[in-house]
Structures are given as structure tokens and as C-alpha cells.
Amino acid sequence: MKSSSSLYYWFSMFAACFIAYQQVIDNIRPNYSGNNEVINYLLGVAPNFFPAVGMPALFVILIPVISRNQWVNDHRQIMANVISLTGLLCWEFLQSASTQLQFDWHDILWTFLGAVVFQFLWTLTPDSYKKSIERKL
């Protein structure tokens, strides 16, 4: 399988999660007027879940391009998850100091669940799509 197919696969996962995140934030949450508590809960945590799945997919593309360290490249799915979890969790904890944003432990839980889903998707992904993306620099 060509390196570009792997690139498109991971970038498509990132793009799908980004689009889902934007749709929830911009269209679905503001226009949902129902009283279903489960849907309200899922719409509340979805903006944390989708980036936790999508951001590692982007980092899986970027890490082989940026890093020359073989161990990092061989374990890029773990490194991608660590990088994205660090950023997302820092953002969530910074919200506790804000008067306009809300800190929520459920958001943290769903951020970790998104990371687990990414690892699960990595496991299910064919080996041909896991091959390292060649350095283009």
C-alpha cells in the first residue's frame, strides 16, 4: 500500500472528527430543544470525545515527518495519544480558572474514552495503513 493511502486514511479520520465536533458545537447543540437527558449529556461531552479520537490521527501523520527517533516512530500511536491527551486535558483544567468556560469531570472522562477509541481503531486498522509515512523533507 502506498504511503499516500495511509496519509489519506488518517487524515480522513481527523477530518471526520473535526467535522463532527464543529457540527455538534455550531448546529446540533444550539438547535436541540429536547428534554432527553441522555442526548443532552452526549451533546455536552461530544466536543471532548471527537477531538480525543481525531487529534491523534493527525499526529500519527505528523510524528514520522517531524521525528527521527525510531522508537517514537515505531510507537507513534501512543505518542500521538499522549500529545493530544496532554493538550486536551490541559485545556480542560485551564477552564477551571475561567469565568466563562466550564470545567467538568465528565469531559475528562470522555476525553480518555476518545483516546481509548483511537487506540481501538489503531488496533483494527490494517497493517498497511500503519506503515510509517516517509519523510518528505
CA distance linking residue 49 with residue 16, whole number of Å: 13
Distances (CA, A) of 130 to 109, 113, 123: 27, 22, 10
> pTM surpassing 0.75?
yes
The DSSP secondary-structure symbol of 75 reads T
Question: 117: closest CA among 50, 46, 53, 63?
Answer: 53
CA distance linking residue 11 with residue 57, whole number of Å: 7
Predicted local distance difference test score (pLDDT) of residue 22: 97
Is the pLDDT assigned to residue 4 strictly greater than 80? no
Is the pLDDT assigned to residue 108 strictly greater than 50? yes
